[in-house]
Structure 1
Amino acid sequence: MSSSTASGNQTKLSALTLAALGVVFGDIGTSPLYTMKEVFSVGTHPVPLNEANMFGILSLIVWALIMVVSVKYVAFIMRADNRGEGGIMALLALASRHTGSDKKMQHTIMLLGILGACMFYADGMITPAISVLSAVEGLEVAAPGLHALIIPITLIVIFILFLAQSKGTAIVGAFFGPIMLLWFGTLAVLGVNSIMQYPSILQALNPYYAYQFFHTSPWIAFVALGAVVLSVTGAEALYADMGHFGRFPIRLAWFGFVLPSLIINYFGQGALVLSNPETVENPFYLLAPEWSLFPLIILATLAAVIASQAVITGAFSVSRQALQLGYLPRMHVEHTSESQEGQIYMPRVNWGLMLGIMVLVLGFKSSGNLAAAYGIAVTGDMVITSLLAGIVFHHMWGWGKLKTGALIATFLVVDVSFFTANVLKIPDGGWVPLVIGIVIFTLMVTWKTGRSLLYAHLKNDAMELTPFIEAIGQHPPARVPGTALFMTPNPDGVPHAMLHNLKHNKVLHEKVVILTVKFSDYPHAPKDELVVVEKLPHEFYKVTVNYGFKDEPDLPRDLELCATQGLTLDAMDTSFFVGKEILIACESPDMAIWRKKIFIGLFRSAETITNQFKLPPNRVVELGSQVSF
């Protein structure tokens, strides 16, 4: 390899690592703002402050970061990629694909995956609220008289953040890496200065102190796990954003910079509190010299905004994947970058998230109160990730049951311990993410089930295509110039729109295309499988367009590929016929009537097929029909 090539690869790796630092680690990087404060001061079950407890807590935090982030996510989960893509929906697709024809197992996996996505959405609401609030709360330390401005400033920052989403993150994203580099460097510097005043604090690196904490004060230690887990929030972002940066840059940033900076800052806070117990009220900001408080508040707020940005971007990504896989109704998706396919903006998700976050800020009023609501969503997602990963390890990687069981059991001991400790916080706010999760879970399952029932109903009522074409050949109707594309999810049945057109207009076009769009559980469809054309008698054609769950549908563009398979489509002489069903709910044993009404509401609110597939509006014909199901 030439020196110029090696230099280019090194530059690319450095750029990717810096970008990963800015996007991936914002959530976990802002955890020092509130974790220690929540453990000892403002938590729902604060731990008594003494040296033994402090050493035990610090040891738990260190080994939680090592076990959950370094071992579970970085060493193992990130290897379970779906053609380079990560995240809960990618893991769901992997687990579903490798379980064979076991319908019961597939149904269980689907429910687990949806539940994990719901926990992600709940986390996506709480993360911006607690991160921005905890950053702005530094004003209480710098200027106590400004306490009344904390909530208004927080709401303004959140509003500006969501208002900017439609512009895309390409321009702002260039600043994320350097800001987070400065942030983690600041964490380390603040921590080192404090550790030098109390060097014996480094003994807490020994896991023996965590064991001793549980041995001498088992109940206090168990309850403390509910706050200790705040130190690992954001670990799932390493896996979710893997497709953007790759495994190695994320691992390099984590082990080379993020993990050491976090540990040093936590230990610095611990040293400060042991030296001066009064600083437990806000140990992060009190680590800093008084002259640096306002610059630190600004930097912390920027870091919190970046952490929030990563969660919001993740919510857009998960929503689009869920939409393509059939778990959410069609929504408007805007692309904010011409060069980066993954940079998208979804208005409905954006404003819904903003409204939920603002309600949380106004309802909880402080980061300490919000911390009680935080853990359930994060730990629930961690448990589900471990379970789905176990299925992938066994069925996809071919691991034996003993090997898989031993590793997943190790993960679950940690995950379930954190989750159980957070159950204690349900009365103090932990019910909020549960309610959010249940509502979103109900909507997603209802949509998935409703679509299946509607498809089955329409398929049963549809005339078979082959006899229909034979009848057309024997009794041909009038054929008019041009091409008609009839969109249908059932390629073997006669589309309702075609029957309506034939019944009322008494004509068929000279070329008739039965067009079916399918979404696979792969991130991107192979180019050679994107479009498949099958010629039928009497100038009928079947065309199947295959997309991955991260592909951007564009039918006019992709249908040009039909020419390579013998079907030439003139864009100015082609009409798209789309069925527009009006649904009527009927009593039936397959789905409760209230769920059918929810499904109908979601169905009516869905983005039009014209917009979803970028069809030219002046070439689309909608033909409606009533469907009772």
Structure 2
Amino acid sequence: MLMLYPLPVLSASSGLQRSLSEIKYSSSPDAQGAISDALKKYVPVPSACVITVCLFILQHYGSHKIGFMFAPIVTIWLLFIGGVGIYNIFHWNPEIFSALSPVYMYRFVRNINKDRWKSLGSILLCIAGSETMFTDLGHFSKRSIKRTFVCLIYPVLILCYAGQAAFISKHWNGPENFNHLSESIPEHLRHVFILLSLLASAVGSQATITASFSIINQCRALSCFPRVKVIHTSDKRHGQVYIPDVNWLLMALSLSITLGFHDITRIANAAGMAIVFGMIVTTCMMSLVMALYWEKSLFISGFFLMFFGFVEAVYVSACMLSFHKGAWYLFVLLAVSFTVMLAWHYGTMKKYEFDLQNKVSTEWLTDYSPSLGVSRVPGIGLIYTDIVMGIPAFFSHFITNLPAFHQVLIFVSFKPQPVPCVPPSQRYCVGRVGGKDYRIYRCIVRYGYCDQVRDTDDFEEQIIGSIGEYISLDESDCESLTSPEGRMVIVGTPLLEGHALIPVDDTNLFSGSTNAGNNETLAIPEGELIGRNAPVRRKKVRFLIPESSPRLRVSVRDELQELINARESGTAYFLGQSHLTVRDGSNFFKKFLIMAYVFLDKNCREPPVALNIPHAALVEVGMVYII
């Protein structure tokens, strides 16, 4: 998809160069030729670079604001090229509609030669950008994309290309004399066409950029891409995201392609290759969906794969003829991106397998740790781990070396689901580790690839609220799951629907003492206590138990009060700091993937930042992972 960014911008800039070169200057023919050569050399690439930089700078405003700016432009552009297409059809060759018949395609294939075969790669550029609409599903609804494509985009494209074909049928003098589509525009509208094409090229590149953000965000949620900062630019559509690091990286690569190739033909060859490879991957995945998800017969899915795969294989063979003319760069980008995704996924899975093999049982923590002299300290300990059963190795390593943990422990695990969004009523799955007296809980947070549960500022409050809901619903008849550790209850978003704990917003940001009258305990982060009367920051949200709630028994109320007291005493966050090493005797491929993963892990976003963990309350436990 990267090859599609500079293509429309550079193409429109080339049209600007042609428009300027057609201006008649009061000079000799030799001087006019020199001016034309200078315009051809210095106008397209710099103007394309300027438009590219401006386009990427606008990305932080989000798809909604950018779409509001670009919607009138693309609407006028579509109506313009559709109107020009209708004019060319009826003015030059009304019979051009007969070219839509597949008979002409059969004649083209029957009389195929090397030049015609090579031109198949250029035909793919006719659909460049249209497939990007369907990768923007995270930014726009599926219904709007379908209606827009069927009712507007596709008919306008047919009219535009038919009009150009009608013009070419009457003015064809060979490819060396007809190099740009602006030739089919009426002369008195060519300057308007150049202006609109420049603006529309930015819109076309914008669709590809937003699609890249969506794809990378989904890959990140599925542990196939390194941790990057994702900014959700819309409160209504969770799929509208902006990724700053990826944005600037794409801008740098786009500028390098534009400056390195400075030739639209080479970029077009690489773009055609990218399009056809995307079609092949889509066809293969679609056949698997038909066989596994739709449960169609193998004959139907196989026929679908063979039919469309054969057509796409023909286009691949045509694009390979231009491999040395720019298409090779696509394979370089493909190798780099594939290595990054494969290394990150491989390292993540190996770490998870190591955690599963080296975890300790819950009995070790609940039964044997008291015999080791482990003491309980006030507060809540949130242990982030990838495993959903047992005790992670890094936490047992911590207790072995420092025999103490908090009076309330909560093991938090994030589990992605292969759906866009998990309903709030099904998001948290809470259970106990050991008996009630241990006050140890496990909370599994389930999220879809469009959810943003990790980046919310009130995530700690949601976890505490879900634990409170679980305590009140532990013995009631509610939806639950069975795990080897016992019963786990599915609770919804506690801050919106909870009744066990009442969240109270604390509007007083600073205070210098503890208000014992209403049991308000202030949170003092480590390293910020300067003196007895030093101002400290209150917690953002406090919890209270309802004064009159007949459904809460005394034991439940006591457990909730202990949870509140622990939370008021402070919260500590435990994270495992992994150090991966390769086992002796491993092959080169495994060593290379682990080395790549370690490099990416050191240079990507840190886990405490990705989870919005305050540094004053963070405890990182180092562990050596031998892979």
TM-score normalised by the shorter chain: which range applies? Answer: 0.7 to 0.9
Following superposition, the deviation at residue 521 of structure 1 comes to 1.7
**Deviates further, 398-407 or 132-141:** 398-407
Q: Please state how far the C-alpha of 1:352 moved relative to its aligned partner.
A: 1.4
Matches within 5 A, 1:491-570: 491-536=388-433, 537=435, 538-552=438-452, 553=454, 554=456, 555-559=459-463, 560-566=465-471, 568=563, 570=567
Contact 1:377 1:434 (8 Å CA) reproduced: no
Task: Using structure 1 for the length normalisation, give the TM-score.
Answer: 0.76
C-alpha distance in 1, partners of 2:99/2:17?
Answer: 30
Secondary structure in 1 matching 2:378:
strand
Mapped to 2, the partners of 1:587 and 1:596 lie a distance apart of 13
Within the candidate set 164, 176, 180, 2:74 is matched to 180
Q: In the aligned structure 1, how far is the partner of 2:233 from the partner of 2:139?
A: 16
Shift of 1:188: 1.1
CA distance in 1, matches of 2:279, 2:584: 39
Residue 271 of structure 1: aligned partner: 166
Question: Per-residue deviation at 1:514?
Answer: 1.6
Q: Deviations over 1:93-124 (max 9, x none)?
A: xxxxxxxxxxxxxxxxxxxxxxxxxxxxxx2x
TM norm structure 2: 0.76
The code of the aligned residue for 2:331 comes to L
* Aligned partner letter, 1:169: S
Q: Measured at CA, do residues 248 and 451 of structure 1 come closer, stay the same or move farther in structure 2, by a change above 3 Å?
A: closer
Structure 1 residue 219, shift from structure 2 partner: 4.2
- Kept in 1: contact 2:82–2:157 (CA 8 A): yes
1:124-161 Cα offsets, whole Å, 9 max, x none, are x1111111000111122211243312111111111111
**Structure with a larger share of its residues in helix:** 1
Q: 2:346–2:593: 8 Å Cα contact kept in structure 1?
A: no
CA distance in 1 between counterparts of 2:140 and 2:592 reads 43
- Secondary structure of 1:398 counterpart: coil
Q: Quick one: structure 1 residues 405 and 592, their matched pair in 2 at CA, closer, same or farther if it must change by over 3 Å?
A: closer
Q: What is the identity, as a one-letter code, of the residue corresponding to 2:596?
A: I
Q: Does residue 410 of structure 1 match 2:287?
A: no
Distance 1:511 1:561 in 2: 14
Question: Equivalent residue of 2:411, what SS?
Answer: strand
Question: What pairs with 1:127-166 in structure 2 (closer than 5 Å)?
Answer: 127-144=4-21, 145=36, 146-147=39-40, 148-166=42-60
Cα distance in 1 for residues equivalent to 2:394 and 2:288: 42
The 1-side partners of 2:250 and 2:569 are apart by 41
The aligned runs of 1:345-494 (5 Å cut-off) are: 345-475=242-372, 477-494=374-391
Q: Who is 2:541 aligned against?
A: none
Q: Once the 2 structures are TM-superposed, how far is the Cα of residue 579 of structure 1 from its aligned partner?
A: 1.6
Give 1:244 shift.
4.1
The change in CA–CA distance for 1:245 and 1:470 in structure 2 (over 3 A counts) is same
* Cα distance in structure 2, aligned partners of 1:318 and 1:519: 15
Deviations 1:436-464 (A, max 9, x none): 11111122112111222222223323333
What SS class does the counterpart of residue 485 from structure 1 fall into? strand
Asked if the contact 1:238/1:250 (under 8 Å) is kept, the reply is yes
- The change in CA–CA distance for 1:557 and 1:206 in structure 2 (over 3 A counts) is farther
Q: Partner of 2:347: helix, strand, or coil?
A: helix
Q: CA deviation at 1:208?
A: 0.8
Q: Contact conserved, 1:532 with 1:562, CA < 8 A, in 2?
A: no
Q: Where does residue 111 of structure 1 map in the other structure?
A: none
Q: Which has the larger radius of gyration?
A: 2
> C-alpha separation between the residues in 2 aligned to 1:450 and 1:420?
35
User: What SS is found at the alignment partner of 1:524?
Assistant: coil
Q: Partners of 1:519 and 1:396 in 2: how far apart?
A: 19
> Secondary structure of the equivalent of 2:369?
helix
1:527 deviates by 2.1
Deviation at 1:326, TM superposition (A): 0.9
**What letter matches 1:136 in structure 2?**
S
Match of 2:204 in 1: 307
Query: How far apart, in 2, do the equivalents of 1:368 and 1:286 lie?
Result: 18
- Aligned pair 1:578/2:478, yes or no? no
Q: In the alignment, is the contact (CA less than 8 A) between 1:533 and 1:562 conserved in 2?
A: yes
SS for the counterpart of 1:589 is coil
Partner of 1:534, secondary structure, is strand
Aligned to 2:597: 599
Post-superposition Cα deviations, 1:249-279, rounded to whole Å, max 9, x if no partner, equal 3232222221121112112222222322359
Which deviations, in whole Å up to 9, do the C-alpha atoms of 1:272-319 show, x marking residues without a partner?
223223595344212223343333222111111111111111111111
SS at match of 1:592: helix
CA distance in 2, matches of 1:319, 1:156: 25
Q: 1:282 to 1:571 in 2, by over 3 A?
A: farther
1:354 CA displacement: 1.0
Question: Aligned equivalents of 2:409 and 2:146: distance in 1?
Answer: 53
Query: Map of 1:116-265 to 2, 5 A cutoff?
Result: 123=1, 125-144=2-21, 145=36, 146-147=39-40, 148-195=42-89, 196-265=91-160
How far off is 1:381 after superposition?
1.3
d(CA) in 1 for partners of 2:113 and 2:46? 41
Structure 2 distance, partners of 1:587, 1:131, is 51
* Whole-angstrom distance in 1 between the partners of 2:56 and 2:461: 32
State the match for 2:547 in structure 1.
none
How large is the RMSD of aligned CA atoms in angstroms?
Answer: 2.2
Contact 1:272 1:283 in 2 (8 A): no
**Conservation of the 8 A alpha-carbon contact between 1:524 and 1:547:** yes
Pairs aligned (count): 506
Percent identity over the alignment? 26
| Residues 138 and 239, structure 2, Cα contact 8 Å, conserved in 1 | no
CA contact (8 A) 1:128 1:304 kept: no
Deviation at 1:400, TM superposition (A): 1.4
1-structure distance, mates of 2:467, 2:411: 13
Task: Tell me, yes or no, if the aligned pair for 2:8 and 2:201 is still in contact at 8 Å.
Answer: yes
How far off is 1:509 after superposition?
0.8
> How far does the alpha carbon of each residue in 1:191-236 deviate from its partner, in whole angstroms, 9 at most, with x for none?
1222222223232122111111222235444322111111122343
Q: Quick one: distance in 1 between partners of 2:614 and 2:324?
A: 53
Structure 1 CA distance, aligned partners of 2:461 and 2:600? 29
Is contact 1:556–1:615 with CA below 8 Å preserved after alignment?
no
Aligned partners of 2:222 and 2:296: how far apart in 1? 28
Q: Deviation of residue 417 (structure 1)?
A: 1.6
